[in-house]
Amino acid sequence: MSEEANVQFSEREALLFHSEGRPGKIEIVASKPLTTQRDLALAYSPGVAVPVQAIADDPATAYDYTAKGNLVAVISNGTAILGMGNLGALASKPVMEGKAVLFKRFADVDSIDIELKTEDVDRIIDAVELMEPSFGGINLEDIKAPECFIIEQTLRERMNIPVFHDDQHGTAIITAAGLINACLLTGRKMDEIKVVVNGAGAAAIACTELIKAMGVRQNNVLMCDRKGVITQDREGVNQWQSAHAVATDRRTLTEALVGADVFLGLSAAGALKPEMVKDMAPAPIIFAMANPEPEIRPELAKEVRPDAIVATGRSDYPNQVNNVLGFPFIFRGALDVRATGINEEMKIAAAHAIAELAREQVPEEVALAYGRVHSFGADYIIPAPFDPRLMEVVPAAVAKAAMDSGVATKPILDMAAYRHTLKGRLNPTTSVLTLAYEGARAHPKRVIFAEGEEEVVLRAAIAFRDGGYGTPVLVGRDDVPDRLRALGVSDPESFEVHNSRNSPLVPAMVDFLYSRLQRRGYLRRDAERMVNQDRNIFGSLLLQLGEGDAMITGITRPYAQNMREIRRVIDVAEGRTAFGVHIMVGRSHTVFIADTTVNERPTAEELADIAEQTAQVARRMGHEPRVAFLSYSTFGNPKGAFLDNIRDAVQVLDARQVGFEYEGEMAPDVALNPRQLANYPFARLSGPANILIMPGLQSAHISAKLLRELGGDSMIGPMLMGMEKPVQVAPMTSTASELVTLAVLAAGGIAR
């Protein structure tokens, strides 16, 4: 039922997120070069006339020559926005943009939002039907019942592309997946279970229809609304509800639940009382999917029935019914076979695929993120929402069902190859970053924000705390609470603030710092001055004294100055080399660049260390490392005076017998372009490099900064590696979101 993560944030932070930079959450990016006059001539007139004629001759070629085959319209009229009600088409736009982002993030489906300013069913149907040439699929969203039933059914009859109302069918598919596994665990069969559905809206009816299609008997389902059980002799029910009316003498929810095996709640908070749960059958199955507050909290249900299996729409409980497990991947599979619709067979296939995935061994990165080893059982009947295997498993199942049921117009001949293609469509880094945030919530840490008087830092600290990632420890003066209050924090005194002017830790800090620096020519009063006046020194000492688990700084001073101050307090970890790594994250690729911040002229040993440690980071982020030691020279051509340390670094790795690919020296185009690499058949890289080890700080720093400013990819970092304590130095231009990401990566152990 849920697509949100129950993360807390202020209204101001939400508005800033949507307004900073380019307003909104989506933009159109050209997929072809448009640099020269020739490019423009091919893209538009006169070159465009050729595909126009081809499509006129054969309409199916529109999928070959346009974006239609990977384009979904997210359409709403705003009559049922996220449980907020009828707020109108325009108010629904942020939600529909968000849905478009989820399509792209999870399944590489391009999507555009369309808000229709009407509640007239016929006008909506006409408007959507007329857009069929533009799109490969239609996702209806946040349209109230019963209008949504009429709109979807009519469009499915009239249109030759998939039409899917996610509020109905997305919830139904995930619920069905969980029900399959809950029945398996409790030894039940679908055709024998007795189900009570509380709620008679769009999602409830869709859930009921799907589980009946999967074997649940008509007379074994009692549907209830606010007035009680929907019976055959009851008046005032609409045609969609009456389809599920039964002959029974039970009239209330309490009566309906006596002896019931399953409760499906799509209604209101608190609707299911503990005493009702008591009367259910042994090992009751409870889906309490009202949001944000379920029909019954899992702990209350288990208080009276410890044998219960409970699912909710919330991410802070096990078994989250989250639509994001379904709709992106269902459309992915439907689009890839050019399905003419999404039928019951495809929905059932998706439900079984999701259910089967929950029964498989959970990947290590998912288990680490959620703070426990997930294994199939009462608390794990539905896969984690960010399990990267969903992209491979669900679209393949949907595509096969579309082919088997005759609605696929472009069948897939090699399913194994198709699954491999699916796996490569998304960048694993995006999943790992999401999992890092989940891991931070599962294992919250104390992170020191050394520049706690800066607005961007305070906003990051607020987001860090409200997101449940841990406790921000602020370094600042007496006015920090006032600054927090100005940012909309109602309880600024609840934030932990350390002020060097009155901190009881200062004497211990001075002792610690003086003991480190006294043989470097520093007097005790120098140590006192640094502790009292330098936020980086003070923050680093808080970290050394155990007042925090990690530290972040960098907003107010250049990187090198920050590093000098931190190094007075925190050493490089024994046996490690300190260095910085920038991470370029593209749609389907990630490139790690090191060392971009610390070592001006690294030795061969240092280059080898940097390569090994960066390879470890790459693996923690889901990538198999391929390391290239970069140079202006490729295997000695042209000759140069500064190649020895690079060649020696390769030999150092040879001697260490590391378990990853590496090669050098080589120019960047050889490292990254397969056609160039093919000119060197002896090279040890099996594909383009994803780790670039730079020969020196000058080239590394220039390259990273240029790519950050000019490149199209997202850039994370620099991440500081190799220090004895988790500390990160952010760029001075960092946003609050970027600071939170670095804080999470530092606290979670990915940056170490």
Task: Say whether 739 sits in a helix, a strand or coil.
Answer: helix
Q: Is the pLDDT of residue 3 over 60?
A: no
Do 128 and 194 sit in the same domain of this protein? no
Helical segments of 380-454, H only: 390-404, 415-425, 428-442
Q: Is 228 left (phi over 0), alpha (psi -120 to 50) or beta?
A: left
Amino acid at 200: A
Asked whether residue 131 falls in the same domain as residue 228, the answer is no
DSSP assigned state of 215: T
Same domain, 127 and 261: no
Provide the pLDDT for residue 713.
66
Give pLDDT tens digits for 135-164.
999 999 999 989 999 999 999 999 999 999
Whether the per-residue pLDDT at 6 is higher than 60: the answer is no
Is 275 a member of any domain?
Answer: yes
117 and 238 co-located in one domain:
no
Give the CATH number for residue 387: 3.40.50.720
Token pair for 447: 């992170």
Residue 112: inside a domain: yes
Whether residue 334 is contained in a domain is answered as yes
Residue 135 and residue 196 in one domain: no
Question: Residues annotated in the binding site, as ranges?
Answer: 81-88, 141-142, 167, 291
Any domain includes 715 = yes
- Name the least confident of 369-373, 439-443, 538-542, 735-739: 369-373
Terminal-residue alpha carbon distance, the chain? 37
pLDDT of residue 505: 96
Burial bucket for residue 720 (CB in 10 Å: 0-12, 13-18, 19+): buried
Domain span at 109: 68-161
pLDDT digits (tens, 9 = 90+) for 7-27: 566 777 788 788 877 888 888
pLDDT (mean) for 464-491: 91
Instruction: State the Cα–Cα distance between residues 276 and 274, nearest whole angstrom.
Output: 5
Sheet architecture: strand order including 496-498: 496-498, 470-475, 445-449, 550-553, 727-729
Can you tell me the distance from the alpha carbon of 205 to that of 241, in angstroms, rounded to the nearest whole number? Answer: 7
In a domain, 498, yes or no: no
Span 364-371, average pLDDT: 57
- Per-residue model confidence as pLDDT tens digits over 267-278: 999 999 999 999
Indicate the pTM of the whole model.
0.77
State how far the Cα of 556 lies from the Cα of 450, in Å rounded to an integer: 10
Distance CA 395, CA 71 (A): 16
User: Which residue carries 């925190």 as its tokens?
Assistant: 570
The answer, yes or no, to whether residue 431 has pLDDT greater than 90, is no
Residue 367 has pLDDT above 80, yes or no: no
- Binding-site residue numbers for NADP(+) are 81-88
Residue 669's pLDDT band (cuts 50, 70, 90):
very high
Residues in contact with 494: Cβ distance below 8 Å, sequence separation at least 6, in sequence order: none
pLDDT of residue 515: 96
User: 47 lies in a domain?
Assistant: no
**Which CATH number fits the domain that encloses residue 144?**
3.40.50.10380
Whether residue 469 lies inside any domain: the answer is no
Q: What is the pLDDT of residues 274-314, one digit of tens each?
A: 999 999 999 999 999 998 899 999 999 999 999 999 999 98
Q: Can you tell me the distance from the alpha carbon of 292 to that of 734, in angstroms, rounded to the nearest whole number? A: 32
Q: Confidence class of residue 56 from pLDDT cuts 50, 70 and 90? A: very high
Q: Are 606 and 577 in contact (CB under 8 A)?
A: yes
Residues 6+ apart with CB under 8 A from 336: 395, 399, 410, 412, 418
Residues 120 and 189 in one domain: no
Q: Of 161, 190, 221, which residue constitutes the final position of a domain? A: 161
Per-residue pLDDT at 423: 80
| Least-confidence region, from 229-233, 236-240, 332-336 | 236-240
Looking at residue 82, its amino acid is L
464 - beta bridge partners?
Answer: none
186 and 130 co-located in one domain: no
pLDDT band at 341 (very low <50, low <70, confident <90, very high): very high
More confident residue, 515 or 706: 515
At 628, which CATH number?
Answer: 3.40.50.10750
Residue 438 has pLDDT above 80, yes or no: no
Of the candidates 314, 242, 456, the residue with the CA atom closest to the CA atom of residue 3: 314
Do 119 and 200 fall into the same domain? no
How many structural domains are present in the chain?
3
- The predicted pLDDT at position 309 comes to 97
Average pLDDT over residues 352-360: 95
Task: Answer whether residue 507 is part of any domain.
Answer: no
pLDDT at 120: 97
Q: Are residues 122 and 181 in the same domain?
A: no
* 110 and 241 both lie in a single domain: no
List, by residue number, the catalytic residues: 99
Q: Both 199 and 329 in a single domain? A: yes
Identify the residue with better confidence: 384 or 528. Answer: 528
User: What is the tens place of the pLDDT at every residue in 490-536?
Assistant: 899 999 999 999 999 999 999 999 999 999 999 999 999 999 999 99
- Residue 217, sorted as left (phi over 0), alpha (psi -120 to 50) or beta, turns out to be beta
Contact 579, 721 (CB under 8 A): yes
Tell me the C-alpha distance between 284 and 280, whole Å.
6
pLDDT at 169: 92
Detail the residues annotated as belonging to a binding site for a divalent metal cation.
141-142, 167, 291
Q: Which of 161, 190, 206 is the last residue of a domain?
A: 161
Last residue of some domain: 135, 161, 187?
161
Note whether 394 and 362 are same-domain residues.
yes
